[in-house]
Amino acid sequence: MRLGRVLLVMLCVLAANLARADEPAALPGKIRVASEEWDNYTQADGQGMAWDILREVFESQGVKLDRRSVPYTRSVGLVQRREVDALVGSYRDEIEGALYPRWNYDTDHIYSLGLATNPAPTLATLGSYRLVWVRGYKYQDYLPNLKRFNEIRRRIGILPMLQQGRADFYIDALTEVDFVLSQAADPSLFRRSHLAELPLFLGFADNERGQALCALFDRRMDELVKNGRLRPIFQRWNQPYPFDVERPPAER
């Protein structure tokens, strides 16, 4: 009889543990997000389209957005060391040890910038040119057949580099290409060319907080894409809306 009671108690404890395992992890009161400071996107003052998207995703659910402006490569390290909960502007599976949701939050419009006298490159011909981009972006993993490229620390000095023939094309997102081009005394000397569309993701820290926030992000994106609540944010910032196909990239 005593053995039966012991077994009954053990079964009750096991059932309780299994029930708790099925419960979603409790949400933290804030999400600590690191991002490079991109103009009109993730500005240090809290203005920008990406911050507006993340506020709609998280703050409506009681999770306050705690922003940190750091260079992109540092934001990667902060996520890997679990000192922040997520970083902005990652490509899928780009960062070792980070968690990636099903949903992207935006799309990166990738362009080249070169002299107007050069032929416009395409994905098929890009590998035959000398390329340059900012360190940490790893375009060699997302664009085909890239053979000759250099990574630079800052976007300063790109136009003279192109004019002096030290590189054929600079590769970056459209916003950053336009920023560099705006510094030209004569923009007509240069030409930008569209190359690719790359989905942009949050990369979450691989811990219990990151898992809970990643799951919340996907649940909210399911809702927001379906009800169209994100479309006005893209319209307000004059950016293309990337969710007319109402499925995450992993399911397309």
Please report, for the domain that includes residue 39, its CATH number: 3.40.190.10
- What pLDDT score does 185 carry? 95
- What pLDDT score does 18 carry? 46
- What pLDDT score does 252 carry? 59
Q: Indicate if 115 and 182 belong to the same structural domain.
A: yes
For residue 115, report the phi and psi dihedrals to the nearest 5 degrees.
Answer: -65, 140
Range of the domain at 132: 108-197
pLDDT less than 70: residues of the chain: 1-25, 246, 250-252
- Distance of alpha carbon 83 from the chain centroid: 18
Q: What is the reported pTM?
A: 0.79
Q: Could you give the number of structural domains in the chain?
A: 2
Please name the residue that has the structure tokens 């994106």: 221
- Distance of alpha carbon 153 from the chain centroid: 19
Q: Indicate if 122 and 185 belong to the same structural domain.
A: yes
Quick check: 169 and 194 in contact, CB under 8 A? no
In a domain, 3, yes or no: no
In a domain, 155, yes or no: yes
- What pLDDT score does 123 carry? 94
- What pLDDT score does 8 carry? 47
Nearest Cα to Cα of residue 47 among 37, 33, 34 = 37
Residue 46 has a CB neighbour count (10 Å cut-off) of 12
Q: What is the dihedral of CA 231, 50, 143, 179, to 10 degrees?
A: 110
Q: Indicate if 134 and 87 belong to the same structural domain.
A: no
